Amino acid sequence: MASVLPRDKQTDIVSALAEGVSIRATEYLTGVHRLSLATALGVTDHI
């Protein structure tokens, strides 16, 4: 089974991105690798 980000971490990521924070800055702020961010958002084809 794949590991799943906790709901509060997912909320932090979506909130940051909705505010216009870049992927790399969101990675730094949340401590979640940018490829994991992309996977969570379903956009792995574009990274």
> What are the tens digits of pLDDT across the range 1-47?
456 788 898 889 989 999 999 999 999 999 999 888 887 777 656 55
CA distance 32 to 8: 12
User: Domain coordinates of the chain in residue numbers?
Assistant: 7-46
Angle in degrees, CA 47, 14, 36, rounded to 5: 40
Distances (CA, A) of 36 to 18, 40: 17, 6
pTM reported for the whole predicted model: 0.75
